[in-house]
Structure 1
Amino acid sequence: MARHSTHKRLRGAMRADRVRGAPGGPGRLRTATFSWEPPARSQIQAAIHTHPFNHTLNLVVPATADMAPLQAALEQAIRAGGPGPCLAHVPATLFLEPSFVAEYILTGSLYALSMTRLDSDDTLCIDGQGMLILSVSKDTYQQLGLAGRPCRFAHGASGRLGDRRSGAVSRYMIQLPLADPSFVPGKRGYERARQCLAAWDEARGRASWPCLFVWTPPTPLNAAPARAWAPITLPEALVDPRHVRSVEPDAVVRMHEDVWVPSACAPSDVGPCLEWAGLMALPSPRLRAFDRCEPHVCLYDPPPGSTPGACLHLRVVGLLPPALVARCLQLAWDWAETHRSVAALSVSGFTDTPIAWQSKYPGHGLPLGSGALAGPAPDDGRTAATRARKVRRKGHIRAGETEHGLLRTGENGYTVLLFPECRAPGEAQVHLLESVELDTH
């Protein structure tokens, strides 16, 4: 009997490998433009809150007037919350403790991230909307006993033709909906998860997870601007107080003199303006108005219409909740609107995070929980039957799946460009550029 031909399978595998090995991987840069209208603020604020794990914030505002009021307001926004972010060694069962869930997860927004390597260690995080996400190795997944899904970015070599990423899955993602009404003590899914995490803690050792915590309290109606964070108290029965320490963000404010400052941004100039914002965040000496760098070292031209001036540069590093970023953007927006000045806000996320962006459909398709923790799904034109349909195709992205691939592009952040003065009527004055990978945007 003749051996079965594998020509079609190999040809399809080669096409898939060419797509996976394309320069830049599956990374994408999404661009959205808005006019200078009130609805634009709410839309950009909503986009900011979908990026939970912010590591570095850079805000650049040209000095068109006395910058002392803006500088004082920014420093007040950062320090108003007092002590809040902390680093603690905790067990995984802490996140299922009923008192902890009721006080911090069901009330306000809790962000937690383990300080472990995404490419080689087991990691966990809480995304601010009550979802506990575990990214574990294949060995841990087989021993843990909880249902999950394969990671899209963690495929080993297949052994065919070399340099292939279509082999066996090496990592898995597990999601536990802590805020779901059906995920409570006494329910079978909750008890199963608690039993598995307790056995995992016993195998790893007590309080073996070094995690960063920051909690944003709920905002009362008709209240002053919300605090970016508030202190949290971890139960001493599970966490040793000696293993908890405060980690305040590092904030630095500088004034850069004699640098190129753009005055407006046409749709065709978004790229140069984004490059200018990135160089200001460094800051780079190429932005100096008197810089005369050798052509063989660097070639840089400022955006069209740029003039020499001074810029206020705020840089904040730490675990920054979205509420703090939104507050800084609000202050910069008000300043730009009053003084008709440009502004640029750049935010980058942590490298070792299981996810970079929150899912539009939190809890959808999970074996534990009903997926109702964030209310109804957005109106995207898809019916419930379409969302529930399972497509058995390798690499298919279902609704609700979101993931961060460190070893592919690794980018996870966004930039907001504000230009009150436009060159022509009807031109967009606010630009939002998001670096995304696998998500549900």
Structure 2
Amino acid sequence: MFVPLRWLRERPRHLLVCERSHVRHERSRHAVRVRDHAFNCRVSFLIPDCGIPPEALKSAVADVGEYYLVKNLSLHELVTQEFINTFVKKGSCYALTYNTRIDQDNSAALLPTGKLLISVDKDTYEELGLQGRPSLYSGKKPMRYIITVDLTDSAFNPDSKKHKRVIWALREKKPLEFDFLLAWHHKGSEESTLMSYFSKNQIQAHQPKITFSTLRNVQCPILEYNKLQGEPESACSAQEFFEWLGAILNQVDLDNISSNFLSTYSCPQPGTVIEQTLLCTVTGFIVPEKIIHLLEQICCYFEEPKLAHWISLIVHGFADSPVSWRESEHGFLKGGENLYSFVIFRSLDYWLQMAVGAYDDCP
């Protein structure tokens, strides 16, 4: 991919959007924010002054649930009336193309709202003949387009011209085939499952990978829930804490000792040393409903007295997902940033920090 020289000289822009509220506040939007971020590949939580995983959190992590990888799935199979009636209209269905690069390859994503977003290059767009819009990252001469199909639209029925045209375009005019990650969240007992529905395809069930580890003698900033923006100056700012959290997750040395490295990093001040800190990481295709349940269990953790003053929950989205929050187009460009984190305090006040990369829309 060609990268203009000025982009190499410019400092990459990134956006960190911060909110502060209380989990039990009637206007709290924490659950809405989680639901808005549909495609998640990794969830971690960090508990200071804790060495043994709490049983409730272990159960919540174990209940994240399986997901599926379907090989060589024709895109038109996701717009059939049978699929829509069986999965899209009876729960939250998630589908994301696997091993596709959003800046180079065709890709697609099915949101739980029933919106199917298809990101295609110019040639594919012209061959399909479906209505779309230029990608936000195409520049003055669009080389990529986004097509949106609302599968729940009342006008999108088997007898409509729109439905027939979409089926014809995806099945006959320009067939598109991808490997898909799939997950379905629903209430009640349904006879149909993704495994049985796609039994004629190459489908594999996967369980998320779960790891627990205990970090020793962690240098940790002192947080105060009402000082998110770092005022007064002595408080740890949102940006400083977000960087510290990234350093912990990536096992960066916080000693700030001169060595043969070009740069060093030290813990924001004021800080303290935590003797033991529990870190749990779940990797897979994780739906927002399971993250909301985990967040609720974290809140329940503080119902009894604990040494920990706060717990952090960190969620990473796919760098190559065609969408980030809601239906906002996601662009890789320089870093593909697509993540958010909660800090839940004993009082159940929380910080929410949402990070997006260069030119992405504000969450």
**TM-score strictly above 0.5:** yes
Query: Does 2:198 match 1:232?
Result: no
Contact 2:69 2:179 in 1 (8 A): no
Q: How does 1:113-152 map to 2 (within 5 A)?
A: 113-115=96-98, 116-152=100-136
Which residue is equivalent to 2:216? 257
Q: In 2, Cα distance between the equivalents of 1:172 and 1:125?
A: 14
Which residue is equivalent to 2:182? 213
- The alignment yields a C-alpha RMSD, in angstroms, of 2.9
Q: How does 1:30-45 map to 2 (within 5 A)?
A: 30-34=17-21, 36=22, 38-39=24-25, 42-45=28-31
Q: How does 1:346-385 map to 2 (within 5 A)?
A: 346-359=314-327
Contact 2:36 2:325 in 1 (8 A): yes
Query: Does 2:357 match 1:431?
Result: no
Q: In 1, Cα distance between the equivalents of 2:10 and 2:93?
A: 37
Shift of 1:40: 7.0
Q: In 2, Cα distance between the equivalents of 1:344 and 1:81?
A: 18
Q: In 1, Cα distance between the equivalents of 2:269 and 2:341?
A: 16
Amino acid at match of 1:32: E
Shift of 1:126: 0.4
Shift of 1:139: 0.3
Query: Does 2:37 match 1:51?
Result: yes
Q: In 1, Cα distance between the equivalents of 2:25 and 2:167?
A: 43
Amino acid at match of 1:240: K
Contact 2:42 2:281 in 1 (8 A): yes
Which residue is equivalent to 1:312? 278
1:60 to 36, 43, 46: 46
Q: In 2, Cα distance between the equivalents of 1:41 and 1:189?
A: 39
Which residue is equivalent to 2:257? 293
Shift of 1:81: 5.9
Which residue is equivalent to 1:403? 329
Residue 258 of structure 1: SS of its match in structure 2? strand
Q: Deviations over 1:182-214 (max 9, x none)?
A: 211101111111110112564x5xxx3100001
Q: In 2, Cα distance between the equivalents of 1:145 and 1:201?
A: 9
Contact 2:46 2:279 in 1 (8 A): yes
Q: In 2, Cα distance between the equivalents of 1:440 and 1:37?
A: 22
Contact 1:261 1:309 in 2 (8 A): no
Shift of 1:42: 4.7
Q: How many residues align?
A: 341
2:164 to 168, 180, 191: 191
Which residue is equivalent to 1:4? none
Which residue is equivalent to 2:233? none
Query: Does 2:345 match 1:419?
Result: yes
Residue 87 of structure 2: SS of its match in structure 1? helix
Q: Which has the higher strand share?
A: 2
Contact 1:416 1:430 in 2 (8 A): yes
Q: 1:336 to 1:295 in 2, by over 3 A?
A: farther
Contact 1:261 1:308 in 2 (8 A): yes
Contact 1:85 1:213 in 2 (8 A): yes
Q: In 1, Cα distance between the equivalents of 2:23 and 2:88?
A: 34
Which residue is equivalent to 1:366? none
Residue 190 of structure 1: SS of its match in structure 2? helix
Q: In 2, Cα distance between the equivalents of 1:278 and 1:416?
A: 13
Q: How does 1:73-222 map to 2 (within 5 A)?
A: 73-80=56-63, 82-115=65-98, 116-155=100-139, 167-200=140-173, 202=175, 208-218=177-187
Shift of 1:128: 1.4
Which residue is equivalent to 1:23? 11
Q: In 1, Cα distance between the equivalents of 2:141 and 2:200?
A: 40
Shift of 1:87: 3.5
Shift of 1:41: 8.8
Q: In 1, Cα distance between the equivalents of 2:362 and 2:160?
A: 30
| 210-219 vs 186-195, which moves further | 210-219
Q: In 2, Cα distance between the equivalents of 1:440 and 1:187?
A: 36
Contact 1:336 1:343 in 2 (8 A): no
1:332 to 298, 321, 345: 298
| 262-271 vs 243-252, which moves further | 262-271
Higher RCO by CA contacts (8 Å cutoff, separation 6 or greater)? 2
Contact 1:273 1:303 in 2 (8 A): no
Which residue is equivalent to 1:278? 246
Contact 2:118 2:147 in 1 (8 A): yes
| 52-61 vs 402-411, which moves further | 402-411
1:244 to 197, 203, 220: 203
Shift of 1:255: 0.9
Q: In 2, Cα distance between the equivalents of 1:341 and 1:216?
A: 33
Q: In 1, Cα distance between the equivalents of 2:244 and 2:251?
A: 10
Q: Deviations over 1:120-149 (max 9, x none)?
A: 111011011100100000000011010000
Residue 277 of structure 1: SS of its match in structure 2? helix
Q: Deviations over 1:266-292 (max 9, x none)?
A: 330223322222122122332xxxx46
Unaligned runs of 5+ in 1: 1-16, 156-166, 221-229, 360-401, 422-427
Which structure has the bigger radius of gyration? 1
Contact 2:217 2:276 in 1 (8 A): yes
Q: 1:335 to 1:189 in 2, by over 3 A?
A: same
Q: 1:81 to 1:55 in 2, by over 3 A?
A: closer
